[in-house]
Structure 1
Amino acid sequence: MDNENLLQLEGAVENIVYRNEENGYTVIEISDGDDYITAVGIMPQANVGDTVKLTGVYTNHRNYGRQFSAQICEICRPTESADILRYLSSGAIKGIGASTAQRLVSEFGEATLDVMETQPERVALIKGISKSKALDFANQLKTNTGVRTLMLYLGEYGISNTSAVKIYNALGSGCVDRIRENPYILCQGDFGVSFESADFIAKKESLEPESGVRLRAGITYILRHNERNGHTCLPKEKLVAISADFLNVGVDRINDCMEEMLFDRSLIGETFDETEFVFTPQLHLSEMYVSSRIKMLLKFPAEKIKDIDKEIEYCEKTDGITYADLQKQAINSALTEGMLVLTGGPGTGKTTTLNAIIKILKDKGKKVLLSAPTGRAAQRMSELTGDEAKTLHRLLEVSWDKHDNPVFNKNERNQLKCDALIVDEVSMVDTFIFESVMRALPLGCRLVLVGDSDQLPSVGPGNVLGDLIESGIIPVVRLNEIFRQAQQSLIVTNAHKIVNGEMPVLSNTDKDFFFLQKNNKSDVTNVIVDLCVSRLPKAYGYSAFDNIQVLSPSKKGELGTAELNFKLQNALNPKSDDKQEVTIGSKTFRTGDKVMQIKNNYDIRWFKDNGETGEGIFNGDIGIIEKIDKKVKIIKISFYDKTAAYTYESASDLDFAYAVTVHKSQGNEFDAVIIPMFQGPPQLYYRNLLYTAVTRAKKTLILVGNPYTVEYMVNNNRRTKRYSGLKEFLLRDDGLY
């Protein structure tokens, strides 16, 4: 479209007809004096009361008629008294209603906004406005101006307005100038901006490709990107090679820059077994702290419980059971040592052992706290022990700072009040949350860590459980005997076969582990849908929403979660006139959908039936959409123990959960699990992933597909290498142990 054909239109925004929070597409009504005009375009910054200058053309929509299609939207600060009054009366500034707006404009006229922003002391002289309110008004005006300026600047580079608000909140006024000087600050926070986007801005701002700010940012970005793959550090040689390739810069220049960063401690170097490793300062401090704290707990253990053999005999008598030798060893270690790692597969008696430890400690008057990483895992721990178990975040009394980082009220200055802490599902615990646990744990408190070391490691950085076990300095008891009752379960016996590299029994049809052979992907999909819709509900009374879970190794492909979710949503919760729908990004959600939170969101408010309220829905939480309220743009979702209200913006972190990846299922158990078995990439089809998937099933497990894929996964014993420093720090002789 030729620029000479573009028109300009200026007016006051009277109404927001529609806004897509995901992409900023907005329909507004503006008044240009005598008439109302409908305008459409990418205008996320436009609000009721604003004066806007639009550049675009008039078009005729087949349904909505004549409207102005805006290519550019500029927010104009109102200058006329009447426009200022309308702007302030619109609610654009919190705390100012119609009467306050009238008093302000009557006093300051056309200078009202300038006075409010630069001379709040004069505003405070008006009746009913305190000094603190006047300062708040000034800050809001500055923020509104700053945010809009930033949105316009970043919008040219395709960066969303949601990210712009986060960036402004973190960097404050003058952030556009700061970004122009160093665009790479955009990819150094949790702003949703990639290095590639920052690099594009840098080129536009004429920054040199080999500039120090670019190389430093690129090296740090690679380290932080690898944190998402579970690494707390990388070998220096590997980091140099990756950085040189990623930044398209010579190895020598990268080496020089990295040496500068190591010298000024922007990065931290360590040598393990003659290999140099590089950490970010945050993760280096985290692993060092965990190591030192563990050594202190071992050096100053809790007081030993006496007459343990008699206590064990008493438990056996009252509960009518006989503990195996390894169970007795675990009970003894938990009651005599400062720490214990209790590990073992399904059916090996971890829960029975745990209950004995809890019973003896409570009989001795000790206060015992129970915890697990996720809500589902904590709920299951409560059911199995009969005692309340809290999530680690709840146990540590989490709150959130202005940048959405977790802040724990329980820490080294306000430690937990307990004699023993027992944490289940420790394989899921990453370095950062484990550091927070260690900070909150008082000396003299017992720490019992329970987990299955053969399951997948944590989603976050670190290999906490593996490093603790491999260090050899902490008492570890591995339960390996499958008890008689568990032997009746083919799920349990096959899980142990898988982890030992043996082919599971696939031919049995009268137990709880089934294999349905299908030789093409289309048939596999059809069988999975039929199992969820008809066969399992009829045979067992299972609900596809509450009891059945499809687990796939992959997100992509015909048997990946994306495609399976599409098919399962259409089959289980089809479109109908009585169901509300909303499209968020590429996904159309409707009432009744089964959904999962795919990243931590610390701002979402929730409430329970007992009146308890709080904030925070976490990665992996599964719920059902109860209601979609289009008027207030809220999605109400019921989780297993609470209900949460999502804005459309926060709903961008939701995905369908009819099928989820095995990684996302960690910490959860389901009555029935269905797993597609068809060849895929080796990095996703390996033994421990199959083992983890199988052990998610409580009552029924069904594999659908090709037996050769099962055999391939059992034989593929590759484990993704995780670089971490905790084991080495634990083994280091630093005088603490």
Structure 2
Amino acid sequence: MSSKPNSHQAQTTSSSANSPTTSTPNFKTLSGVVERVTFQSDETGYTVARFLPDRPTDRQATNNNSTSASPRFRATKGDDNLLTVVGTMVGVVAGEALELTGLWLQHPQHGWQFKVENYRSVLPATEQGLRKYMGSGLIKGIGPKTADKIVAHFGLETLDILENTPDRLIEVPKLGKHKVGLIAKAWLEQKAIKEVMLFLQGQGISTSLAVRIYKEYGDASITIVKNEPYRLAREVWGIGFKTADKIAQALGFAIDDPERIKAGTLYVLSEASDSGGHTYLPRPQLALKAAELLGVTPEQVETAIEGLVLDGGAQVETLTVDPTDGSKGFVPLIAVTVYEPGKTAATSQQETNVGTGAANVTTQTTAKKVAAKPNILTSDVATYATKSPSSASVPTAAALHESVEVYVGSTPTLSALPGEQAVYLPPFYFAEQGIANHLLRLAHCSPQQDRLITLKQTNFATMFEYLTTKESLKLADRQEEGVVMALTKPVGVLTGGPGTGKTTSMRALIRVLTLKKKRIILAAPTGRAAKRLSEATGLEAKTLHRLLQLKPGGKSQYDHRANPIPADIVIVDETSMLDTLLMNNLLKGIATGTHLLLVGDADQLPSVGAGNVLADVIGSAVVPVVKLEQIFRQGEGSAIVTNAHRINQGQMPLMGKEITDFFFFGEDDPELAGDLVVDLVAKRIPTKFGFKPEEIQVLSPMHRGKCGVGYLNEKLQEVLNPPSERKGQKQYGGKLFRVGDKVLQLRNNYEKEVFNGDSGVVMELSHEDQVVTVKLEDGREVEYDFGELDELTLAYSISIHKSQGSEYPVCVIPLAMGHYMLLERKLIYTAVTRAKKLVVLVGSKKALAMAVRNGPKRESEEGTLLSAAPNNSGKDSSSHRAGRYTGLTVRLLHNQN
């Protein structure tokens, strides 16, 4: 072991913990070593640490009843010699030698603390300090044991070796070549990242985001942040416009800087898609919302929109067509519709030669075109205007200057006002166009292209008799219609609520196709939904992401012309979860002539991503739809399916002593209701019904509050997976991850092939390698660097939206009046339909009644759907209940014509 003096001893790194220090007589200076870090925020860098000074401080001297430094003081680890230091100290680790400048403050609970204003990092000068410094987790791949080995071999030369000749680490016994490479890379990265963190800390940026910035831009990070801060919002996941704007403002960017207004406008569009599910916003609404956010005028935003269009950052299209010049555009859906059984529905269009059609509504969620002639009666209802076949024989329709709602299923689709422009982010614009074009391409395939054309000659009566007698698959009339549709129509939709026989219909269809030796592809949007589909049908089902082998950027490997999906029919379950981008990727990979069957419940919540695909496809009436309504799956004494349908019809669920699988625990106080949820999951349900806690899923309508996802996750983690010495854990931002935790993926990660909504369990956690290993539901194990933990969240409690496509033995659903803005029928309906064996509602009965009463539409005194257009203030009056701005239905109707 060498004892050569450390050449790094004189090299230091300087940083300001808050703002630059000015000379003041109150500031004191301390030198010493960080003994341990008690707390450190990844978001702010705020740190609480125990500090061992090189020599006694005036505070220690005072505590020892001495007015001067004690000559007997020794820098040892005794509690009397350790100080508490607090302040913003980004990336400080145990073992690090620091020179601190700050003030002594007396905390009412914790006593004297040294509040750091400035600090200077000095690399360790002793072997003991090196061991502590290197084994602190600072360098990926080096834990305490590895640090001991390296320092034992190189002594005070250790940092020189790491800096200049890291290949020599191979000299350390049992340190393999692979590990040496990892350590060398990690040493260089942590140095560069720390420089970036020290710069960004001055701009108020968290450590975790600084790591992401460095991974995106490398050595150019500081230059890009200084000169192009708004790039961060577009290119670094986890950094939105508000964070980028905060950096830009600190760096002196003007409030009316054109790049700022463009970035803010894109942020409003992005938020509309992420939070509201909109694929576009009407231009006037976008201008007002962006102006309000940015503190500029709508005219300045209009200029920014023009610039974005020229740059390709946005797409603009007028949603109406001028019938006098035949210009291209959308056929306007200027309609107001009553949608209740027993009432009359009317449709009209703003053209001089179009009249109104009327229909008696007998079913609640069926929609077909009604010809634009007076007094047309049908058992179904149209929600759109249609061009008149005879302009001479129909009266003129009154112009309706209102936003349009096309209601099919549970989520209405909104349209801009006549003549308004729709402003899209390019991916949604091209995806909507793609869906309309591809869907019609598939639907209009020729007999020569149709890969199931021979099945049209089938004797279906004989076929269904065979399925009944030989395969034990007896179908009701509507189920048979669904099977025939899938076999004879290139594109079709099979929809229905829980227990109505969608799965049985698919099993019968698959059996026929298998006997005919046809190639079948089964898919679903999520891993949980694909697993359920596989179990129900006996065939392998893939997630759409894996089927399409989506790459970073969301690009599919399949193309319907050059490399189509190898199938005669593609069957997709849980299609209410399909968002616009994923649907487009699916359709463009299906060859003309391959059949497509979309299966789903139109009354479920729409997709988490932007769009309202299933409802829009059904609403367009361009493809056949079979709706199953008869309830089959209803075990004796079971109330789950019955109550799901009651809720969907606006009726309170049945509860009573005779019902043993559907319960309500009343508790109006949200905090007490939250505590009751924890008690039910941890004790009562396992004791009473025998379910394990891991079989119970809490589904909450919202994230905040005592009945929200965040609070319940913390409490459930404490009870179900308490800390122990055997379980590694890692604090990241405001979340604590521990071995054994249920976790959920928050975004699509194409490199890891893990997607938004995938869930798993933390199996391992290594501070030495700075890696968390998660076992997913499909059995794969995936590693996350500590810097990637913001992709995960705890999953003891999840949002109802995140539960789509899943089934759980038991669902516990908290309801509080604090959730009233989100309490809606389809939300509770979706939550209840996730449970297989037991539903437990907890909270306010008033909240439950409000949710059941609040359907997807709001009605005026005349009984028509209210417009969800923005009001004069520019604030979006469309809500979770009011629907989504999408152009897909209009595009389908326009392209069909």
TM-score by length of 2: 0.66
Deviations 1:501-520 (A, max 9, x none): 12221235334222334454
Q: How far off is 1:697 after superposition?
A: 0.7
Distance between the aligned counterparts of 2:120 and 2:731, measured in 1? Answer: 28
Mapping 1:96-495, distance limit 5 Å: 149-171=195-217, 173-229=219-275, 230-272=277-319, 273=332, 274-300=419-445, 301-304=450-453, 305-308=455-458, 309=460, 310-399=462-551, 401=552, 405-411=553-559, 413-483=562-632, 485=634, 489-495=638-644
Structure with the larger strand share: 1
* Matched residue, 1:131: none
SS at match of 2:885: coil
Q: How far off is 1:9 after superposition?
A: 10
Q: Please say if residues 302 and 337 of structure 1, whose CA atoms lie closer than 8 Å, have aligned partners that are also in contact.
A: no
* Matched residue, 1:597: 744
Q: How far off is 1:268 after superposition?
A: 0.9
Distance between the aligned counterparts of 1:19 and 1:705, measured in 2? Answer: 36
Q: Please say if residues 580 and 610 of structure 2, whose CA atoms lie closer than 8 Å, have aligned partners that are also in contact.
A: yes
Question: Whose radius of gyration is greater, 1 or 2?
Answer: 2
Distance between the aligned counterparts of 2:140 and 2:814, measured in 1? Answer: 54
Shift in alpha-carbon separation, 1:340–1:15, aligned structure 2, 3 A? farther
* Matched residue, 2:393: none
* Matched residue, 1:705: 843
Q: Please say if residues 99 and 122 of structure 2, whose CA atoms lie closer than 8 Å, have aligned partners that are also in contact.
A: no
Q: How far off is 1:447 after superposition?
A: 1.3
SS at match of 2:693: coil
Q: Please say if residues 8 and 53 of structure 1, whose CA atoms lie closer than 8 Å, have aligned partners that are also in contact.
A: no
Shift in alpha-carbon separation, 1:498–1:472, aligned structure 2, 3 A? same
Shift in alpha-carbon separation, 1:625–1:315, aligned structure 2, 3 A? same
Q: How far off is 1:199 after superposition?
A: 2.4
* Matched residue, 1:648: 786
Amino acid at match of 1:163: L
* Matched residue, 2:731: 583
SS at match of 1:504: coil
SS at match of 2:842: strand
Mapping 1:516-527, distance limit 5 Å: 516-521=665-670, 524-527=673-676
Q: Please say if residues 179 and 186 of structure 1, whose CA atoms lie closer than 8 Å, have aligned partners that are also in contact.
A: yes
Distance between the aligned counterparts of 1:149 and 1:589, measured in 2? Answer: 27
Deviations 1:211-231 (A, max 9, x none): 211111111111112111211
User: Tell me, which stretches of 5 or more residues in structure 2 are unaligned?
Assistant: 1-20, 55-74, 108-112, 124-132, 142-149, 166-181, 320-331, 333-418, 857-880
Q: How far off is 1:288 after superposition?
A: 1.3
Q: How far off is 1:313 after superposition?
A: 2.9
SS at match of 1:649: helix
* Matched residue, 1:686: 824
Picking from 651, 675, 681, the partner of 2:813 is: 675
Distance between the aligned counterparts of 1:192 and 1:462, measured in 2? Answer: 22
Q: Aligned-residue CA RMSD in angstroms?
A: 4.7
Picking from 537, 543, 562, the partner of 2:710 is: 562
Q: How far off is 1:265 after superposition?
A: 3.7
Distance between the aligned counterparts of 1:717 and 1:725, measured in 2? Answer: 23
Distance between the aligned counterparts of 1:589 and 1:93, measured in 2? Answer: 18
Q: Please say if residues 549 and 670 of structure 1, whose CA atoms lie closer than 8 Å, have aligned partners that are also in contact.
A: yes
Distance between the aligned counterparts of 2:589 and 2:488, measured in 1? Answer: 21
Deviations 1:440-464 (A, max 9, x none): 2222221111111101111111111
* Matched residue, 2:168: none
Mapping 1:616-655, distance limit 5 Å: 616-642=753-779, 643-655=781-793
SS at match of 1:536: helix
Q: Please say if residues 21 and 648 of structure 1, whose CA atoms lie closer than 8 Å, have aligned partners that are also in contact.
A: no
Distance between the aligned counterparts of 1:482 and 1:214, measured in 2? Answer: 55
Shift in alpha-carbon separation, 1:179–1:674, aligned structure 2, 3 A? closer
TM-score by length of 1: 0.80
SS at match of 1:306: helix
Amino acid at match of 1:359: R
Distance between the aligned counterparts of 1:289 and 1:326, measured in 2? Answer: 31
* Matched residue, 2:175: none
SS at match of 2:593: coil
Q: Please say if residues 731 and 737 of structure 2, whose CA atoms lie closer than 8 Å, have aligned partners that are also in contact.
A: yes
Picking from 695, 698, 721, the partner of 1:550 is: 698
Distance between the aligned counterparts of 1:220 and 1:396, measured in 2? Answer: 29
Deviations 1:328-379 (A, max 9, x none): 1111111111111111101100001111111111211111111111111111
Distance between the aligned counterparts of 2:759 and 2:252, measured in 1? Answer: 46
Distance between the aligned counterparts of 1:714 and 1:4, measured in 2? Answer: 67
Distance between the aligned counterparts of 1:656 and 1:172, measured in 2? Answer: 30
Q: How far off is 1:621 after superposition?
A: 3.2
Q: How far off is 1:575 after superposition?
A: 4.5
Q: Please say if residues 507 and 515 of structure 1, whose CA atoms lie closer than 8 Å, have aligned partners that are also in contact.
A: no
Distance between the aligned counterparts of 1:59 and 1:228, measured in 2? Answer: 46
Distance between the aligned counterparts of 1:93 and 1:527, measured in 2? Answer: 42
Shift in alpha-carbon separation, 1:571–1:235, aligned structure 2, 3 A? same
Distance between the aligned counterparts of 1:708 and 1:92, measured in 2? Answer: 54
Q: How many residues align?
A: 688
Identity %: 35
Picking from 697, 720, 736, the partner of 1:572 is: 720
Distance between the aligned counterparts of 2:476 and 2:491, measured in 1? Answer: 21
SS at match of 1:450: strand
Q: Please say if residues 762 and 774 of structure 2, whose CA atoms lie closer than 8 Å, have aligned partners that are also in contact.
A: yes
Deviations 1:164-186 (A, max 9, x none): 34334444554534433332222
Deviates more, 1:687-696 or 1:148-157: 148-157
Shift in alpha-carbon separation, 1:283–1:329, aligned structure 2, 3 A? same
Q: Please say if residues 600 and 616 of structure 1, whose CA atoms lie closer than 8 Å, have aligned partners that are also in contact.
A: no
Shift in alpha-carbon separation, 1:18–1:479, aligned structure 2, 3 A? same
User: Tell me, which stretches of 5 or more residues in structure 1 are unaligned?
Assistant: 78-86, 117-135, 604-613
* Matched residue, 1:724: 886
Q: How far off is 1:320 after superposition?
A: 3.0
SS at match of 2:599: strand
SS at match of 2:313: coil
* Matched residue, 1:125: none
Q: How far off is 1:298 after superposition?
A: 1.5
Q: How far off is 1:155 after superposition?
A: 2.1
Amino acid at match of 2:456: K
Distance between the aligned counterparts of 1:287 and 1:21, measured in 2? Answer: 42
Deviations 1:135-191 (A, max 9, x none): x99999998886555433322112234333433444455453443333222212234
SS at match of 2:814: strand
